[in-house]
Structure 1
Amino acid sequence: MLASVLVPQSRRRGLMLVMSSPSGAGKTSLSRRLLETEDELSMSVSVTTRPARPGEIDGTHYFFIKEEEFDRMALAGELLEHAHVYGHRYGTPRKAVEQALSQGRDVLFDIDWQGAQQLREAAADDMVGVFILPPDRDELARRLRTRAQDSDAVVAYRMTQVSADVTHWAEYDYVLVNAEFEASLWALRSVLMAERLKRRRQPGLTEFVRRFREPQA
């Protein structure tokens, strides 16, 4: 479907779709569904020093590593971005992302505002930022408790961070309120398609249009 609306035989560079939100706003669920519906989109798998949650698989959801390995990767320049989030460290391995972009594949990032700032500085031309807000604080608290991944103490801590997290919405290209899941998914797919269709992301456009100006035989 995507190929039918882009310039034929044009090798485009992929883009980085960066999604951030307060914890519990729904970005992880939206990310998973977006990956199911977009064939040319792949997930950037982060490294983290936090323990795996129930059901998480090393190498699929995250690469779970020790502090020492995280330090080594950061010092060696092997991370596009890295940050402390809720008491743990997270980072994006550079090599896999750069390879995907050069092959014309889009890469999805589920990261916080600190990582998004670093990506913006490192690769602003490739990045598209989407900030996801919950409908209200009560609904956010309900979602955090319902997913049953964290203790009551961790849920309480995450709620105290909301007021700080949401102040970064203005740093993103798009903002959506995740009140209804399917509507939010549709909005994200629309953002992705619009960004793919931008002139600067279709390198063969000038040559394609030039053919329409050639004299008829």
Structure 2
Amino acid sequence: MTANRRGLLIILSSPSGAGKSTLARRLREWDAEIQFSISATTRPPRPGEVDGREYHFTNEADFKARVNQGGMLEHAHVFGNFYGSPRPPVQAAIDAGRDVLFDIDWQGAQQITNSALSANTLSIFLLPPSIRELRNRLEARAQDDAETIARRMDKSWDEISHWGSYDYVLVNDDLDATEAQLKTIVTATRLRRSQQPGLTDHVRHLQSEFEELT
């Protein structure tokens, strides 16, 4: 973490099967100080999932109460369940200069980019090389039954249609190449003038030195 840098809200979105979970994992392996935003959800845990690791599992009444109290940075209703990003840990990380990574859909991305933290967001959308390849990837990972895969495919075009609202769009036809592009984007965005509040004081110091020497 760099003390004089504001944290980034790094948003990764894509249709299911386009590679965002893999790239999110690789990004955190590249920089362990990137904090993953653990979403809250009303869906039941899958085998092997642990509360507070994959998701914060909760019931619908509690979830809606948090939304009404402003405790969710973003939220959405997907496949019959609610998902959302608790705001307090994200705000604390940004204030401390730590980046927070979001693996969310276009609805969540839109809510974050329209929030009070919009100035600190970096949004990236991942496109598959083809729709046929997208389906092949969903089938190959063997996590869902045929009906769920069909639903994900039906939803994929709706996801893809929102590509134009993101800061960067990458076609993930080569995972290693896309990973390299992703790292370049994050590195450059961290250097944005708006992310470095300490620059103003540094320039003032330079001005004082200049006036002393002249």
TM-score, normalization by structure 1: 0.90
Contact kept, 8 Å, 2:120 with 2:195, in 1: the verdict is: no
Report what 2:22 is aligned to: 29
Equivalent of 1:139, from 127, 133, 137?
133
Report what 1:88 is aligned to: 81
Q: Secondary structure at the match of 1:129?
A: strand
* Partner AA of 1:75 in structure 2: N
Q: Which runs of 5+ in 1 are unaligned?
A: 4-9
Q: Secondary structure at the match of 1:58?
A: coil
* Aligned alpha-carbon RMSD (Å): 1.8
CA-to-aligned-CA distance 1:160-187 (integer Å, 9 cap, x gap): 1112111100010000011111111111
Larger deviation: 146-155 or 63-72? Answer: 63-72
Report what 1:6 is aligned to: none
| Structure 1 segment 48-63 matched on structure 2, within 5 A | 48-63=41-56
Report what 1:73 is aligned to: 66
Contact kept, 8 Å, 2:11 with 2:124, in 1: the verdict is: yes
CA-to-aligned-CA distance 1:57-78 (integer Å, 9 cap, x gap): 2211111211122112111211
* Partner AA of 1:30 in structure 2: L
Contact kept, 8 Å, 1:16 with 1:107, in 2: the verdict is: yes
Aligned residues: 210
Contact kept, 8 Å, 1:53 with 1:149, in 2: the verdict is: no
Shift of residue 209, structure 1, vs aligned partner: 4.2
Q: Which runs of 5+ in 2 are unaligned?
A: none
Report the Cα distance in structure 1 between the residues aligned to 2:94 and 2:82, rounded to whole angstroms. 25
Runs of 4+ in 1 over 4 A off after TM superposition: 209-213
Equivalent of 1:173, from 139, 148, 167?
167
Contact kept, 8 Å, 1:54 with 1:149, in 2: the verdict is: no
Report the Cα distance in structure 2 between the residues aligned to 1:57 and 1:24, rounded to whole angstroms. 23
* Partner AA of 1:80 in structure 2: L
Report the Cα distance in structure 2 between the residues aligned to 1:100 and 1:64, rounded to whole angstroms. 21
Q: 1:54 to 1:100 in 2, by over 3 A?
A: same
